[in-house]
Amino acid sequence: MKKALLAGVAFALGLGAISAAQAADKVTLQLKWVVQGQFAGYLVAKDKGFYKEAGLDVTVAPGGPDIAPETVIANKQADVIVDWMPAALAAREKGVPLVNIAQPFKRSGLQLTCRKESGVKTPADFKGKTLGVWFYGNEYPFNAFMGKLGLKLDGSAEGVKVIKQGFNVDPLLQKQADCISTMTYNEYWQVIEAGVKAEDLTVFNYTDQGVAVLEDGLYVMEDRLKDPKFVETMAKFVKASMKGWEYARAHPDEAVKIVLDNDASGAQTEVHQTHMIAEVNKLTEGSDGTLDPAAAEGTVKTLLGAGGDSPAITKAPVGGWSSAVTDAMKKL
């Protein structure tokens, strides 16, 4: 009798475990780039069980040079993506109805980094220089910066010569470019780690120059926000993700370890990820994930003022961001 009772309890517990597993909502997050400290909050949230506690089964899919998050989500291979607002709004105008549902990065980390020996001391000195720029949607903020300065991208003495920069700092190290695109948390430190001294560099932060745009935000397809269940799931996801970011700020050394443990490529180093997470933490500090509409409008204004032959957007977007998810998050 006792054995039968124990067996019955075990069976009931087993059913409970199965039921709990089935109850977990599956979410696939597509990162904008490879696994690194830029995405520490999501990796920490998964590693520390914050997603599981929220009833979520989250898959964090790494990005890379051949992966466009906008295409991934359009093909229904992800539920939510990390993207920069310029690229997301450009995709929206072209027919991929992306909507910003949360903004973990409160500040921009984009900048142009120049060798002092190139003679670039102020933005006026860009004229006639060679500048390295990322493409695939990352060129839009640069175009806006040059547009504000009235510089054409035609390689003339009165404009600037643009070279397509790979996702490295070689053009600056090899002196193929006078300045290159860098992030405060990534490529800038690659330059420093390569042996260049900070005092030998001149840095132009996009925020300081008045052309900052919103970077790492969370985006979903617009039609999915019509489903209350999906909104609830995303609210849980954003809340758990922000808990991950908060933990990364409080425990940066542990966050570095978590990032390295999740780097299947083995390409990341402890030194670089320590620099990265320290700087990324400055960009997420003070954010609960809620998008500031004024910052979004500022991004739109910057993009519309860029001009050029291939603008990110040609008109102000309608419905490019929504507070539905973060409003629901605050009720959890």
DSSP string, 269-301: -HHHHHHHHHHHHHHHTT--S---HHHHHHHHH
Q: In the prediction, which pLDDT does 14 show? A: 53
CA distances from 73 to 12, 34, 141, 314, 330 (A): 39, 17, 23, 23, 26
Q: Is residue 11 within a helix (H) or strand (E), and if so which, with residue range? A: helix 2-23
**What's the chain's average pLDDT?**
92
Q: How far is CA 327 from CA 26, 233, 241, in A?
A: 21, 13, 15
- Give CA–CA dist 109/188, Å, rounded: 10
Residues 220, 144: Cα–Cα separation, whole Å: 25
Residue type, 82: V
pLDDT, tens only, 101-115: 999 999 999 999 999
Same fold across 2-106+214-329 and 110-205: yes
Please report how the helices 85-93 and 293-304 are oriented relative to each other, as an axis angle in degrees rounded to 10. 70
Which of 306, 318, 135, 326 has its CA nearest to residue 211?
A: 306
With cut-offs at 50, 70 and 90, classify the pLDDT of residue 6.
Answer: very low
Percent of the chain, pLDDT > 90?
84
Q: Average pLDDT of 46-60? A: 98
Interval 230-237 mean pLDDT: 98
Domain 110-205 in CATH: superfamily?
Periplasmic binding protein-like II (3.40.190.10)
Q: Where are the domains of the chain?
A: 2-106+214-329, 110-205
CA 37 to chain CA centroid, nearest Å: 11
pLDDT, residue 136, reads 79
Domain 2-106+214-329: homologous superfamily in CATH: Periplasmic binding protein-like II (3.40.190.10)
Helices 228-250/252-262 angle, 10° precision: 120
* pLDDT tens by residue, 163-181: 999 889 999 999 999 999 9
Strands 80-83 and 98-102: unpaired
Average pLDDT estimate for 25-40: 98
Contact 187, 110 (CB under 8 A): no
Beta strands in 86-160 (DSSP E): 98-102, 110-115, 130-133
Query: Would the pLDDT of 4 be above 90?
Result: no
What's phi and psi for 132, nearest 5 deg?
-90, 135
The CA distance from 104 to 93, in Å, is 23
Task: Name the helix (H) or strand (E) containing 234.
Answer: helix 228-250
User: Does the pLDDT of residue 251 top 90, yes or no?
Assistant: yes
* Interatomic CA distance for residues 111 and 191, integer angstroms: 13
SS3 197: coil
3-state secondary structure of 5: helix
